[in-house]
Structure 1
């Protein structure tokens, strides 16, 4: 049974709801749908599953983009209602006819909806009956065909089985011919105009053999030509250039090792200010070059056409956009996103979401379909990459400090992504904001992990809590937090062992560490290089943490730290893929080897790079 059906505007104004459909909804499924699907550009999904407060609902929806209306149906997940999609389409069609932007109440629509619901339920019942009748008929047909086959094999049940190649019909003509078997390859039949079939003994020509012979002959010709071509070409010896001048290249960029007795191993002032403290929307080099080109270009100089403009023609005259109009632009846009390292599944979902938001809208005069699609995609990408919730680490650290507790950040991820190095970068950034930091060496699995973290701590002149190897990481982190609480340390940075997302024992140890210590922030450290692999890693980390959690409210990943961002050029799609699949924001971006090379994600620059 349908639980609820609502009609509201994109601004959030509820125009109509059916009060006669069962009990009140448990929880807030409509709010969850708006947050998780409509605002996150997942409106192209077939349905949304809501689980909260002991209630399990399935939500389906449709839009009227020209009027800005949303139609949502809610029903119990255990019920598979086949008529919901058809009902929503009929409700949309009928409601649009009476819709007036100045009206707020539509009580007269109750009778219309009641009638539409009865028609949909009756049609669904008829479809069920038809399916129930069709299944026995199909089974009977299969049994009849099986019986006929067995009777034919016996050779005595019917007159048709007596002939090998066919059976005599009532008028004496051959009505069916069996296919040639492997042992009888010379049989061939010809059909005359009067319907008679004549059997001939000409051998059928095998086309596959001809293709094999041609392919073999082509390979032989290529192999025979190759040595002749190589003999015709003479290899020229390059002249060697002798340079007597010694190359003055500094190969060792590490700092000189100082003796244990000396103080101030690495002064913080040597590194400079962290990139995190710079403006997030600072213009990149590519944007500056574009602005200079725009200033230097005269009005008489022709402008360069973009990849969208060269493909599509302008559409004018206030025409209504249909799916067929959008498909060429969306296909080109999907290909463009995939070349930027966006996962194929996510690129397809984004294009479907944009199509759902544009279908049915009127296109203004002298407006291109391509520019309309690109603008809609740009707005969608901005909404996805912009964090939906405010995550201010410095503010949260000061709030925890006022409560007398240390702020705990846990770094998780797969092997070799740079967790320890970027943990040191975060520590360096926090030290520049006059906060006391302590490192916790909870990677008790990999050899050399404790020594690596100890080196960073010595260079940054901050304390480190360590217990060696082959210890329980959850207990090491717990003791480190207790030590920080005694010493009034503001932030504890917990380093964990790198583990693959399919490693069950290590994932169970990580889940225990998070459940026991309840950190304030769980950061997933991923490489910007791996592209689609990062989506799989992040999804399985979240899934494992949810499955292995001992509490009802499982603690999942809160944010993302992308490393090696300076090595990917314009292949920035991994950031979009990871944010889309998890809903967690990219909080840090690693872009170098020094402690200062940590910055915020420039959302506008990422969107421009994805669409250029």
Structure 2
């Protein structure tokens, strides 16, 4: 049965609601309501194309009436398989609009009038009292009960019909002339086979297999010229082959008559450089290769070092791109458009006069929009959902000429992508770090460092971009400890050692030495990564380090044992941030990687009920400089988890770290 049903205006006003259980009634009035979660996590973020929303054991489905700005919502226990929910939503929408359209239309018009007048805004709190929904919607409860009862009875009848046993066929007797071997097993009905028939079928199958085996063995012996049926007498028997394979072994290769001497080994050892050579080298030569002045960050008025915003060269604004696409000239209107947005504009340019947009009108436009998003490297599944959400927001809209259509399309496009990309949590990591480090402690407490864990698949650049983040933190005056928890990949520890050496040469604000501000914590290879991370955090606490950056081994998202090991590191150490490092080059693969990483961490890190599962807190997207304006991976990754992109990597130096602005990404996605 249902738990909750409501009819809500898009502005947040509940016109009518019904709870069917006391638990649902209490939950509906709280902030943890599934309906509130639907509005907060799905509708506000532009995920209107989702088929179902799940929260705290509840499943929520919904539908829109765009011209009246209504949302019909139904919530029920997720474990229940209610087949009539979609039919109920469709019936509710049709009947409610038919009965109360004049009243709802007047109510919506009054809301728009209130919002357009500054004087009425101060009195908006008393505005809903003029509209008595209980009196206006009188009789709707009876209508709703009839609809619900009818659909429940129909679903019960369908369920009884599906569970009704099928009539058995009458038993058939084999003909007198038929033999057991010629009777196929599949011809006898399961309900008519008795024990004797089963025994005959088994014996027939044994006879068939025995006959095939004897024929094959004799034929093989004759083909080899062996008069007997045995195989041991043949010179190429399996035992001879086994002996030959055993004799054929790998011979060790000799590189010289004598083993290499210590001096020869030392000359071939390039894993590290002597400290004397490092100190003798001029620091200016190294700084030129480690820092790019053009991409160096800036100092704000508070003296904090901020990375630069990512900007796209020669890119028009989002409004200009949409306006240009929608303002196709009439003489080119019937010609095939060169770009998908051009096709979108030419199609909407044909809408003149008063018109209510339907699905048939929007389908060609949405198809062109989907193709455009996929060209921008948006994953196909995400592009389809975004376009479906835009379509749902436009169906039923009344347009009164080209300008009105232009505004509707512009608003739908930009709002949908902007809502998806807008982070629902703060991306100011400096603020969260300073808050933790400055929080008051009791006399018996020790200050714990701020910890950040970097996770991702193999080869995306976790260690390199971890070092870029470390440079950013050093420039802001923090002491950073890098924990080498990639104990599997050869050279992972040595790579971090080189980065620590380089970062130690770069002073704060370009002057002085910062060797004391960065240090590497490593315990070699083949050790437990979760234990090393825990030891590193303890070491950082005891030695007054502010931040711990935890480097992890790359792993494929489908490798469950490795994902469990990563979840163990998260559950044991409970880092403050978990950053997923992904590539900007991938499209559909980004969705698969990120969704499986997030789901595996949530499932495995909360196993056993010890703690609540942790998921991805943000993304760091690498190799951004290779995609030009094809930045659809940002939209795909944000859509999957709802978490923000904190940084993007754009080059090979420590200063090649940028921040994304939503407006810049929207302009890049919508530009031709």
**Residues 266-415 of structure 1: matches in 2 within 5 Å?**
266=286, 271-272=292-293, 273-274=296-297, 277=306, 280=309, 282=311, 284-287=313-316, 306-367=342-403, 372-403=408-439, 404-415=447-458
Matches within 5 A, 1:246-257: none
Larger CA deviation: 532-541 vs 124-133: 124-133
- Give distance in 1, aligned partners of 2:397 and 2:576: 45
Per the alignment, residue 47 of structure 2 pairs with: 42
Judge conservation of contact 2:467–2:499 (CA < 8 Å) in 1.
yes
Give the number of the structure whose residues are more often helix, by fraction.
2
Alpha-carbon distance between aligned partners in 2 of 1:523 and 1:112, rounded to the nearest angstrom = 50
Judging changes above 3 Å, is the alpha-carbon distance between structure 1 residues 260 and 136 closer, same or farther for their aligned structure 2 residues? Answer: closer
1:434 aligns with 2:477: yes
- 1:76-87 equivalence runs, <5 A: 76-87=77-88
Residue 157 (structure 2) aligns with: 129
Q: 1:589 touches 1:601 (CA, 8 Å); kept in 2?
A: yes
Residue aligning to 2:561: 505
Residues 281, 427 of structure 1: alpha-carbon distance in 2 compared, 3 angstrom cutoff: closer
From the superposition, tell whether residues 258 and 65 of structure 1 become closer, same or farther in structure 2 (CA, over 3 Å): farther
Which of 30, 33, 36 is 2:35 aligned to? 30
Moved more, 443-452 or 495-504: 495-504
Deviations 1:289-322 (A, max 9, x none): 999xx9xxxxx9x999834334554212221111
User: Which residue of the partner structure matches residue 230 of structure 1?
Assistant: none
Which residue does 2:577 correspond to in 1? 521
Deviations 1:490-519 (A, max 9, x none): 111111111111223322221111111111
Moved over 6 A (4+): 150-155, 255-258, 288-291, 302-305
The 1:589/1:437 distance shift into structure 2, 3 A limit, reads same
Q: 1:355 to 1:271 in 2, by over 3 A?
A: closer
Displacement of 1:31 in angstroms is 1.5
Measure, in 2, the Cα distance between the counterparts of 1:154 and 1:362: 78
Q: Distance in 1 between matches of 2:588 and 2:306?
A: 30
Distance 2:599 2:558 in 1: 11
CA distance in 2, matches of 1:71, 1:433: 50
Q: Structure 1 residues 270, 421: CA separation in 2 closer, same or farther (over 3 Å shift)?
A: closer
Give the whole-Å Cα distance in 2 for the aligned partners of 1:332 and 1:521.
39
1:591, distance to aligned residue in structure 2 (A): 0.5
1:312–1:368 contact (8 Å) kept in structure 2: no
Please name the residue that 1:602 is paired with. 661
What are the ranges of 5 or more consecutive residues in structure 1 without an aligned counterpart? 156-254, 295-299
Equivalent pair of 1:528/1:575 in contact (CA under 8 Å): yes
Greater shift, 552-561 or 450-459, is seen at 552-561
State the 1:278 CA deviation: 5.2
Change over 3 Å in CA distance of 1:339–1:541 after alignment to 2: same
Offset at 1:408?
Answer: 0.6
Partner of residue 70, structure 1: 71
Q: 8 Å contact 1:534–1:578 — kept in the other structure?
A: yes
TM-score by length of 2: 0.68
Shift in alpha-carbon separation, 1:324–1:258, aligned structure 2, 3 A: farther
Partners of 1:353 and 1:595 in 2: CA distance: 40
Q: Give the CA deviation at 1:261.
A: 3.5
Partner Cα distance (1:36, 1:608) in 2: 24
How many pairs align?
499
Q: Is there any run of 5+ residues in structure 2 with no aligned partner, and where?
A: 111-129, 178-272, 299-304, 324-328, 440-446, 505-517
TM-score between both structures, scaled by the size of structure 1: 0.74
The structural deviation recorded for 1:592 is 0.6
CA apart distance, 1:153: 9.5
